[in-house]
Chains A and B, each alone.
Chain A
Amino acid sequence: MGYFLLRRTISFILTLFVVSAVVFAVMNILPGDPALTILGLDATEDALAALREELSLNDPIMLRYLHWVWDALRGDFGISHSFRVPVADLVAERLPLTISLAFSGMLLTIILALALGISAAANHRMSGDWGVMFLSQLGIALPAFWLSILLVMLFAVKLRWLPPGGFPGYSEPWAAVRALILPTVALALVQSAVLARVTRSSALEVMRLDYIRTARAIGFSRQRVLWRHVLPNALIPIVTIVGLQFAALVTGTIVIENVFYLPGLGRLIFQSIANRDLPLVQALVMLFAAIVVTANFIVDLLYLVIDPRLKTRS
């Protein structure tokens, strides 16, 4: 277990290191000029030169990278080129929204997928199964942004039940929850379609096994067998997919935040790349990478919980 953790921590640090180097290199190869983006097309040469000096864009790239690494190691992620405020402040402002969106999306995904997937497996080759299969096929095929627009048209414009977008802030908890409902649903519907299929096929595989038949033969109820015996044994592939999906959900917020004009990290990363705001892009990509790596790590830990065989082996 200790060895496992150590190995994971080292690979975590290495991953972030590689990501930071790649982002730095890509942002430098990418055509673009932060000074010109900020000052616009009417800017004079001397004003551009003054700004480049101010943002220390004239230093050699290796020097800038080493500077960045040195500062980042001490927890200083620099000043955003375009916002001119510390990157850490910008991220801290936006992180809570994106995290709540990703978690609520994940939660809804899991609830929907397990309910639909298990019930489809239980009704294998019956109309319920076909229905779930059809809906999930549709869900996989639908682009999230298009689904979002449809949801807004129906629930915000036509029925006026929910706001079409925006976020009032956590100082108004009820309004904040209302604002997150549609984005959460839009995020979860597509993801749960994928997960429901995995749940169904994994559950079907387990249902074919002898001990399930035995459990039924003993006289356990259908429900009890499904939730107490089939589901726990079908979890490994489900958890693997959930881990991957969490990463997809976090990045999926980029699209969703644009459609619902939510002030989260997704919109920030979009804007920072457009502005060639290197310190901000760097910090955000690192953060996303850290989230993905952490999600994978948690999945690995969960394997140990779900599958006692792994524990005895290590």
Chain B
Amino acid sequence: MTFHLNRHWIPIAIIAVSAAISPTVASAETSIVIGFQQEPTSLDPTADATASIDGMLAQNVYESLTTVNEEGEVKPQLAESWTVSDDGLTYVFDLVDGATFHDGTGFDAEDVVFSFNRAMDEDSVNPTKKLFKPIESVLATDAGTIEIKLKQTDAFFLFNMAQGDASIVAPESFETNNATPVGTGPFKYESWTRGDKLILTKNADHRNAGSVALDRVEFKFISDAAAASAALLSEEIDAFPGFPAPELLPQFDADPRFNVVVGSTEGEVILAMNNSEPPFNDLRVRKAITHAFDRGEIIEGAMYGSAVPIGSFYPPHGPAYVDLTGTYPHDTGKAKALFAEAGVAGSTMTLRVPPFPYATRSAEIVQAQLAEAGIDAKVENVEWGFWIDEIYKKKNYEMTIIAHTSPNDLGNFARGPKYFYGYDDADYNDLWARISSEVDPEARNSLLKEAQKYLADQAVHGFLFQLPQLGVYKTGVDGFWPSRAVLFQPLAGVTMN
């Protein structure tokens, strides 16, 4: 069975989640083994950006003031409620009662102040420190109340405070969280065999422990796609929420022992062009490149059909999405004419590709499609460390293919000419400033639409497809989010039958 996730599945997913939340306390121990491709080197999401740390621990072992549900809506977590002042600058959070850290130390407003100050500190190594940039001050008005003052209104503030980077940690244990994480969440750390597995157990003292079905969670690290497939087929693991190989899905689809769920991630896959360097500073060249590629063919060839095309830099499952795939549709003739007009017809361009299957496979197809339009694209496969340094940091590239997996990342285009896009546009910077300070959801969504359209018209990059989330689950495993607006996956709602 394959669920191609789109809007009308969401009610069903909600039913699945709420069914999972209803207390189903099994007599025997319920234990699940979850496969993960990316193995973290640290277990502290406030000091390391590795996505699997958030994927395993955020909102499971650690909790933040808020959380986000499957649709990306902000929900209470350690803050059970909050009020926002009329000017949108003062947030008062009412903290939950009865939360304790796994090592037995109590949770109160001081822990929140500590966690925020640590993230905002000059010496902070928080991987997404910019989330805290708008904050002016964090104050504990009493043991159960936090008052946060902002310097400017921030549309994404409550959403951002749900992320793993904003996990609430304790001053007593934060220093050892990299190896033995201590949080307030529904699961507590039991053991970690580096390179092999991470084991969590249910936190019986958690305020919602009654509704948590899993007693034991084992994360198993398997980086090799063939090995991941073998581990599933021999029933060593029960779930692989981020299955690495789309080409192997039909085999699971045909097997009644498994459910295959194709959802979406926050990752926009782009054919990035260095906008500050010729010929990509010429709109005609960028338009020509967009005309040259055929998204359908790329998705078929690189993702075996399991992905949704995008025409701009916003996920199709988001509330402000507009379909802009028709802005500069696939038209080799037009591409050729534009390349000729810009004086680059028949030239050579290099495409430096990081070692991710979606990127290397897409590159081969893009190369063939550019060849049809008369451009000789040289594909260079580079290693990740090389990519980070040469392309991301030093902007030493012409084109590359990369997925941007952060939520609300339209702001990337306002990061100035030093950012590896090399894109600097005062109008867009202004538009983004308005988006990030607009607190009214309706108005914000219409601005977000405007931004998408602006970027599509400017053909800043080749916008290819939304990176799918490919999940393979043993039949009976329920409650995993098919699509996610965030990096984490709460396990409190997961059940096994």
The answer to whether A and B come from one shared complex is yes
- Is B230's CB within 8 Å of the partner chain A? yes
CB pair B227–A267 under 8 Å, yes or no, is: no
Write out the residue numbers on chain A whose beta carbons fall within 8 Å of the beta carbon of B124. 46-47, 50
Question: Interface residues, chain A, CB within 8 Å of chain B?
Answer: 30-33, 36-44, 46-47, 50-51, 53-54, 80, 82-85, 90, 93-94, 149, 152-153, 156-157, 160, 163-167, 169, 258-264, 267-268, 271, 273-277
Contact with A along B26-69 (1 / 0, CB 8 A): 00000000000001011000011110000000000000000000
Query: Can you spell out 19 A-B residue pairs with CB atoms less than 8 angstroms apart?
Result: A30-B386, A31-B386, A36-B388, A43-B127, A43-B128, A44-B129, A46-B124, A50-B123, A83-B194, A94-B195, A157-B230, A157-B233, A164-B233, A165-B230, A259-B226, A261-B220, A263-B194, A268-B195, A271-B39
* A163 to B237 CA separation, bound complex (whole angstroms): 11
CB pair A36–B392 under 8 Å, yes or no, is: yes
Chain B contact surface mostly:
loop
Sorted from nearest, which 8 A-B pairs have the closest CB atoms? A40-B49, A263-B195, A32-B385, A263-B196, A31-B389, A82-B41, A164-B230, A39-B127
Write out the residue numbers on chain B whose beta carbons fall within 8 Å of the beta carbon of A39. 48-49, 125, 127
CB pair B178–A84 under 8 Å, yes or no, is: yes
B124, B196, B231, most chain A CB atoms within 10 A: B196
CB pair A149–B226 under 8 Å, yes or no, is: yes
Q: Which residue of B lies closest to A90 (CB)?
A: B194
CB pair B196–A166 under 8 Å, yes or no, is: yes
CB pair B130–A42 under 8 Å, yes or no, is: yes
Partner of A51, one of B125, B197, B385, B393: B125
- Is B223's CB within 8 Å of the partner chain A? yes
Query: A267 CB to closest chain B CB, in angstroms?
Result: 5
- Is B221's CB within 8 Å of the partner chain A? yes
CB pair B48–A157 under 8 Å, yes or no, is: no
Instruction: Using A36-B393, A149-B226, A165-B227 as known contacts, say yes or no to A46 and B234 having CB atoms under 8 A apart.
Output: no
Query: A160 CB to closest chain B CB, in angstroms?
Result: 6
Write out the residue numbers on chain B whose beta carbons fall within 8 Å of the beta carbon of A41. 49, 388, 392
CB pair A261–B222 under 8 Å, yes or no, is: yes
CB pair B386–A167 under 8 Å, yes or no, is: no
Write out the residue numbers on chain B whose beta carbons fall within 8 Å of the beta carbon of A94. 194-195
Write out the residue numbers on chain A whose beta carbons fall within 8 Å of the beta carbon of B41. 38, 80, 82-83, 271, 275, 277
Of residues 200 through 258 on chain B, the ones whose CB sits less than 8 Å from some CB of chain A are 220-224, 226-227, 230-231, 233-234, 236
- Is B179's CB within 8 Å of the partner chain A? yes
CB pair A274–B385 under 8 Å, yes or no, is: yes
Q: Which residue of B lies closest to A263 (CB)?
A: B195
Write out the residue numbers on chain B whose beta carbons fall within 8 Å of the beta carbon of A273. 385
Q: Which residue of B lies closest to A55 (CB)?
A: B125
Instruction: Using A51-B125, A166-B236, A259-B224 as known contacts, say yes or no to A152 and B230 having CB atoms under 8 A apart.
Output: yes
Query: B124 CB to closest chain A CB, in angstroms?
Result: 6
Q: Which residue of A lies closest to B231 (CB)?
A: A164
Q: Which residue of A lies closest to B131 (CB)?
A: A42
* A86 to B230 CA separation, bound complex (whole angstroms): 34
Instruction: Using A32-B388, A37-B385, A274-B385 as known contacts, say yes or no to A46 and B195 having CB atoms under 8 A apart.
Output: no
* A127 to B470 CA separation, bound complex (whole angstroms): 51
Write out the residue numbers on chain B whose beta carbons fall within 8 Å of the beta carbon of A37. 384-385, 388
Query: A231 CB to closest chain B CB, in angstroms?
Result: 39
* A241 to B457 CA separation, bound complex (whole angstroms): 64
Contact with A along B106-138 (1 / 0, CB 8 A): 000000000000000011111111100100000
CB pair A42–B406 under 8 Å, yes or no, is: yes
Q: Which residue of A lies closest to B128 (CB)?
A: A42
Query: B484 CB to closest chain A CB, in angstroms?
Result: 17
Write out the residue numbers on chain A whose beta carbons fall within 8 Å of the beta carbon of B389. 31-33, 36
Write out the residue numbers on chain B whose beta carbons fall within 8 Å of the beta carbon of A277. 41
CB pair B236–A31 under 8 Å, yes or no, is: no
Query: A4 CB to closest chain B CB, in angstroms?
Result: 39
- Is B364's CB within 8 Å of the partner chain A? no
CB pair B234–A157 under 8 Å, yes or no, is: yes
- Is B438's CB within 8 Å of the partner chain A? no
* A268 to B41 CA separation, bound complex (whole angstroms): 10
Query: B35 CB to closest chain A CB, in angstroms?
Result: 9
CB pair A33–B383 under 8 Å, yes or no, is: no
Partner of B49, one of A38, A80, A93, A169: A38
New A-B contacts (16) at CB < 8 Å, excluding given A30-B386, A39-B48, A164-B234: A31-B390, A32-B385, A33-B393, A37-B388, A38-B49, A82-B42, A84-B42, A163-B236, A165-B236, A169-B193, A258-B224, A261-B221, A263-B195, A263-B196, A271-B41, A274-B385
Query: B197 CB to closest chain A CB, in angstroms?
Result: 8
Query: A161 CB to closest chain B CB, in angstroms?
Result: 10
Write out the residue numbers on chain A whose beta carbons fall within 8 Å of the beta carbon of B231. 164-166, 261
* A267 to B195 CA separation, bound complex (whole angstroms): 7
Query: A98 CB to closest chain B CB, in angstroms?
Result: 11
Write out the residue numbers on chain A whose beta carbons fall within 8 Å of the beta carbon of B39. 271
B39, B195, B386, most chain A CB atoms within 10 A: B195
CB pair A46–B122 under 8 Å, yes or no, is: yes
* A258 to B244 CA separation, bound complex (whole angstroms): 15
Instruction: Using A47-B129, A50-B124, A84-B42 as known contacts, say yes or no to A156 and B48 having CB atoms under 8 A apart.
Output: no
Query: A1 CB to closest chain B CB, in angstroms?
Result: 42
